[in-house]
Chains A and B, each alone.
Chain A
Amino acid sequence: MAPRTPGADLPDHPDRLWRSADPKSSYDVVIVGGGGHGLATAYYLAVNHGITNIAVLERGWLAGGNMARNTTIIRSNYLWDESAGLYEHALKLWEGLEEELDYPLLFSQRGVLNLAHSLQEVRDGVRRVGANRLNGVDAEWLDTDQVAEACPILNTSPDLRYPVLGATWQPRAGIAKHDHVAWGFARALDQLGVDLVEGCEVTGFETAGDRVIGVETSRGPIRAGRVALAAAGHTSVLADTLGLRLPLQSHPLQALVSELLEPVHPTVVMSNAVHVYVSQAHKGELVLGAGIDAYNSYGQRGSFHTIERELAAAVELFPMFARAHVLRTWAGVVDVTPDASAVMGPTPFEGLYVNCGWGTGGFKATPGVGWCFAHTIANDEPHPLNAPFGLERFTTGALIDEHGAAGVAH
């Protein structure tokens, strides 16, 4: 009998990914931040708008920030029309992205359950499912028995401290392999002639009046027709150099993985009240995310009690995880807005565009962000899908309050 080789069928990477470029003195567009959003934006600038004289500047290694640290959940079952529009556009792009990029992204539409543990969470869930369906987003409300069927290892007993009273279910939701997504975009950009500049930290901006005309970097000044910020948790630090205040607070967000395990968990489960979200990745490791740490931090590390609490929740909901082991924990820096929705659009500075405030939701939005942000930069005005996500909403009060949908409370 041939020995079992559970790692044998993982896809190989292509022979060429990208070459890290040296920066030129000037570009049509400079994108600050070589994470998923920056890469996707560059990609759609090139493909949808024909702009290829672009540099993506990354201070560390490409896609080494939150893109490398998230728990890879993809879904579009958000409550408000504005969010559903943007995330659903992203999900539709996800559904064609492996082909588009010709890269094995391990995109697996295994569905997501958002559990309800109180009568109010049931009301909220039914409300969101209704809104999703009317917005053309696939969604169902499952009662407790149906939840048990969708995820048999979940503890759906009424004896639970906060029993599972039902769940929303989005079948088209799922997971993908984050590195592969970043590398898929990077490889495509390499082929399109876009400069991916690693180890290049932006330290300030060059301005002419109210116009941003370039960036100062650790590798010298770079002139730019337009500058786009896609720096996630570090956006405030960059905007500060211009005196531009953004409604952002940067927090640690932690995650962890177990050892590799035989498949037991068929879907993605998220619980807001009993604070945990978990899926089982392709190699077999359980991937868990926790709540945000309450304090501001750029340290890429969180507090241990957050991890402890998360594991208590995991074992409470999934008793069979008791003897799984935590193999590795880590943290990213997420930039959170007052309404838990992103900011994407023009700024008071001509030629400067900002995409930030994705909090815990950035990965799933990656292609949608790229599509819309590229449109915003190319046309100097927002795409209809990101028009509601401008900075002016904080003045008018037209917030997009997604605290209930983010999967973690902020």
Chain B
Amino acid sequence: MMLIPCPWCGPRNETEFHYGGQAGVAYPRDPQALSDAEWAQFLFFRDNPKGVFAERWMHRSGCRRWFDLRRDTATNEILGAGAHEEQERTVSV
């Protein structure tokens, strides 16, 4: 049971949260301009590192806000959290 630091509510049990996978994957600006392969990258392909991972969580049973978390996927050590808007975003395709 991880202790997840919600940027708005403080540390709460993992059971209060909803997991959202990799952070920083932006919706393509013009999906229609993408090839099928590029669109597939957006739909289905996400990073899956062993180690530090920037990921999205939503405080479902609390403030219902999404935020980004950096966590080590090998140890579950939480390295920091920030409001979603503050995170640097990258376009995946």
Contact = CB atoms under 8 A, between A and B. Distances in A.
B50 A303 contact: no
A296 B45 CA distance: 14
A193 interface: no
A250 B51 CA distance: 12
Nearest to A239: B48
B61 interface: no
Interface of B: 1-2, 14-15, 18-19, 21, 36-37, 40-41, 43-46, 48-50, 53, 55, 71, 73-76
A233 to B, nearest CB: 9
B44 A240 contact: no
Residue with the highest number of chain B CB atoms closer than 10 Å, among A245, A298, A335: A298
24 contacts: A236-B48, A236-B50, A237-B49, A237-B50, A240-B49, A245-B41, A247-B44, A249-B21, A250-B73, A294-B19, A295-B2, A295-B19, A296-B48, A297-B73, A297-B76, A298-B50, A299-B75, A303-B14, A304-B1, A305-B1, A305-B14, A305-B15, A338-B43, A394-B44
User: Top 4 nearest A-B pairs by Cβ distance?
Assistant: A236-B48, A294-B19, A395-B40, A247-B44
Contacts, number: 64
A25 B74 CA distance: 31
B68 to A, nearest CB: 14
Interface string A224-256: 000000000010110010000111111000000
Given A295-B14, A295-B19, A298-B74, 15 more contacts: A237-B48, A237-B49, A245-B41, A245-B45, A246-B45, A247-B45, A294-B18, A295-B55, A296-B21, A296-B55, A298-B73, A299-B73, A299-B76, A305-B1, A335-B48
B73 A296 contact: yes
A234 B51 CA distance: 12
B46 A249 contact: yes
Interface in A335-383: 335, 337-338
**B contact patch SS:** mixed
Contacts of B1: 303-305
Nearest to B48: A236
A120 interface: no
A396 interface: yes
Interface residues of A, number: 25
Residue with the highest number of chain A CB atoms closer than 10 Å, among B21, B43, B44, B71: B44
Contacts of B50: 234, 236-237, 250, 298
B15 A394 contact: no
Contacts of B37: 395
A245 B15 CA distance: 30
A236 B45 contact: no
A391 B2 CA distance: 34
A248 B49 CA distance: 10
Contacts of A298: 50, 73-74
A396 B21 CA distance: 23
A209 to B, nearest CB: 21
Contacts of B21: 249, 296
Contacts of A249: 21, 46, 48
B42 to A, nearest CB: 11
B36 A396 contact: yes
A32 to B, nearest CB: 15
A249 B46 CA distance: 7
Contacts of A338: 43-44
B40 A394 contact: yes
Contacts of B2: 295, 303
A247 B18 CA distance: 21
A304 B14 CA distance: 10
Nearest to A240: B49
Contact of A299 (B40, B48, B49, B74): B74
B49 A236 contact: yes
A35 to B, nearest CB: 17
Interface in A290-328: 294-299, 303-305
Contacts of A304: 1
Contacts of A335: 48
Given A296-B55, A296-B73, A299-B73, A250 B36 contact: no
Contacts of A246: 45, 48
